[in-house]
């Protein structure tokens, strides 16, 4: 739509896991389904924004009205994010792999009876910190996510300073909560001043719509 609280705005969203290849048939990944990030992208488009969704490999449909750029690795995700800028609002909801194998073998590693070769890992670029730390071309509002299993709020407060973002959406992804892959989410909005706003448990689509309304208010008109 040409109207709505984000009409005329450019929005960038990352979503899903990353796949970090070990060899042509194996990879390192995580349990992110992409449902929350995709719901946010759909809500931004419904609010009138021009939306680019940079997504790792997911099993859910593309949200309507959104330009989707499909990537596999964290490094590809960073490249796609750079190419999608500038944006007014950037929301980093992807569960980016922190590490990748130091080398990707060109042929399938064989099980040859000897002890398995150790997997050496190296750190991936931090996409959120890279974009939030920019002086030129930084989106006006940069939102990070924090998926934690322990001391969710303390971790989020530390993260917001370390990453340089404006707000963190924190959630508890302990297995008992069923958030990863599930349809509901309980989020806490953590501000730069350490303030916390906890929302009730809601459907991820509803969380997406409320987050977009909140970010539109923060951006103003
Ligand atoms: O450090 P941690 O992974 O917990 O931070 C989570 C936030 O940082 C999320 O917004 C996630 O999308 C972003 N992130 C990123 N690039 C990474 C790691 C995390 O953009 N390599």
Residue 44 has phi, psi (to 5 degrees) of -65, -40
The pLDDT assigned to 1 comes to 60
CB atoms within 10 A of CB 106: 7
pLDDT digits (tens, 9 = 90+) for 193-216: 989 999 999 999 999 999 999 999
Instruction: Compute, in angstroms, the gap from residue 144 CA to the centroid of ligand 1.
Output: 7
Q: Do residues 87 and 80 touch, judged by C-beta distance below 8 A?
A: no
- For the Cβ of 91 lying below 6 angstroms from any atom of ligand 1, the answer is no
Residue 43 has phi, psi (to 5 degrees) of -65, -35
- For the Cβ of 145 lying below 6 angstroms from any atom of ligand 1, the answer is yes
ipTM: 0.96
Residue 143 has phi, psi (to 5 degrees) of -110, 130
- For the Cβ of 74 lying below 6 angstroms from any atom of ligand 1, the answer is yes
The pLDDT assigned to 27 comes to 98
The pLDDT assigned to 2 comes to 73
pLDDT digits (tens, 9 = 90+) for 47-100: 999 999 999 999 999 999 999 999 999 999 999 999 999 999 999 999 999 999
CB atoms within 10 A of CB 190: 25
The pLDDT assigned to 165 comes to 97
Q: For ligand 1, atom 9, name the residue with the nearest CA.
A: 145
pLDDT digits (tens, 9 = 90+) for 145-177: 998 877 888 889 999 999 999 999 998 887 777
- The SS3 of residue 221 is coil
């Amino acid at each position: 739509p040409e109207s709505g609280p984000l009409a005329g705005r450019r929005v960038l969203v990352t979503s899903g896991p990353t796949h970090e290849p070990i060899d042509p048939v194996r990879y390192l990944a995580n349990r992110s389904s992409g449902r929350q990030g995709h719901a946010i992208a759909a809500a931004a488009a419904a609010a009138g924004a021009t939306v680019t969704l940079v997504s790792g490999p997911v099993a859910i449909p593309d949200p309507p009205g959104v330009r989707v750029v499909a990537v596999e690795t964290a490094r590809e995700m960073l490249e796609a994010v750079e190419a999608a800028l500038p944006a007014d609002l950037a929301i980093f909801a992807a569960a980016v792999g922190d590490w990748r194998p130091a080398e990707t073998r060109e042929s399938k590693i064989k099980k040859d009876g000897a002890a398995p070769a150790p997997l050496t890992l190296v750190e991936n670029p931090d996409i959120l910190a890279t974009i939030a730390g920019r002086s030129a071309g930084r989106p006006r509002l940069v939102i990070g996510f924090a998926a934690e299993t322990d001391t969710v709020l303390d971790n989020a407060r530390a993260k917001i300073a370390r990453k340089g973002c404006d707000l963190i959406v924190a959630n508890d992804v302990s297995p008992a909560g069923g958030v990863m892959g599930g349809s509901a989410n309980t989020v806490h909005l953590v501000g730069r001043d350490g303030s916390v706003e906890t929302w009730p448990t809601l459907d991820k689509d509803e969380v997406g719509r409320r987050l977009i309304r909140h970010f539109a208010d923060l951006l103003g008109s």
